[in-house]
Amino acid sequence: MDRFRDRREAGVFLARALSRYAGRGDVLVLGLPRGGVPVAYEVATALDAPLDVLVVRKIGVPGQEEVAMGAIATGGIQVVDPRIAEHRGAVGRMHERVEAERAELERRERAFRGDRPFPDLTGRTVILVDDGLATGSSMFAAIAAVSTRKPAHIVVAVPVGSAEVCRTFRTHADDVVCLKTPEPLYAVGLWYEDFSQTPDAEVRALLERAAERRAGAPGRRAAQPLQPR
């Protein structure tokens, strides 16, 4: 199974699979920062939809940060898998981990959104985009955060994810698009040639560029379409 060149190329392919949502006035694309935003930018551009962010932070097992035992999201949402926490002996440090991640979540909210309010999701079709699904903890938290805001439909969209996790989301979202579902997945980053970290500055730049595109700001440079390999 071929790998994606980078997150941008993954977003181009993902947008093609989401073409049925193109040109609809009710659609809003929410990228999960940081890595999900470059993917979401390509999706929003292709669908001619607004782009925003939904900040989510994984709660890693102490000493094994790559193992997620839950996640928190904008709006005070907290999702925890007690089975993983108990199995890894991390229950006693749960509060400590949550508070540490909450501080980082608030920092990213300020960095990416500033004083701009979270968009109104009432009656909208919200497409949640990340660069991949491993355990699904971050996306579960994102769905919980969005659900409280009364959207009409929730769509989960990722370039690559665990087949089992993608199937699970079909009972939590109205539509699920996972382009690649390798088994075993091992790690999301293995399915990208370039999976380098997305810096805060890039997230802000993509959000600003998307806003300019929507506003039709004079002097803006149109996004150049990327031809997949």
What is the predicted pLDDT for the residue at 66?
60
Helices (H), 49-199: 82-87, 94-113, 137-147, 163-169
Please state, in angstroms and rounded to a whole number, the distance separating the CA atoms of residues 174 and 144.
Answer: 13
Output the pLDDT for position 82: 61
H or E stretch covering 64: strand 64-73
Write down the residue that tokens 């102490």 correspond to: 62
Which pLDDT does position 68 carry in this prediction? 65
Pairing outcome for strands 153-160 and 27-31: unpaired
pLDDT tens, position by position, for the chain (229 residues)? 699 999 999 999 999 999 999 999 999 999 999 999 999 999 999 999 999 999 998 887 666 556 667 889 988 888 876 655 454 445 556 677 788 888 899 999 999 988 889 999 999 999 999 999 988 889 999 999 999 999 999 999 999 999 999 999 999 999 999 999 999 999 999 999 999 999 999 999 999 999 999 888 444 444 444 444 4
State the DSSP code for 126. E
35 closest CA partner among 173, 129, 120: 129
- Please spell the DSSP secondary structure of 25-62, one letter per residue: TTEEEEE-TTTHHHHHHHHHHHHT--EEE--EEEEEET
This prediction has a pTM of 0.87
5's tokens: 């060149």
Domain 7-55+118-215 class?
alpha beta
pLDDT, position 229: 42
Q: In the chain, what are the domain boundaries?
A: 7-55+118-215
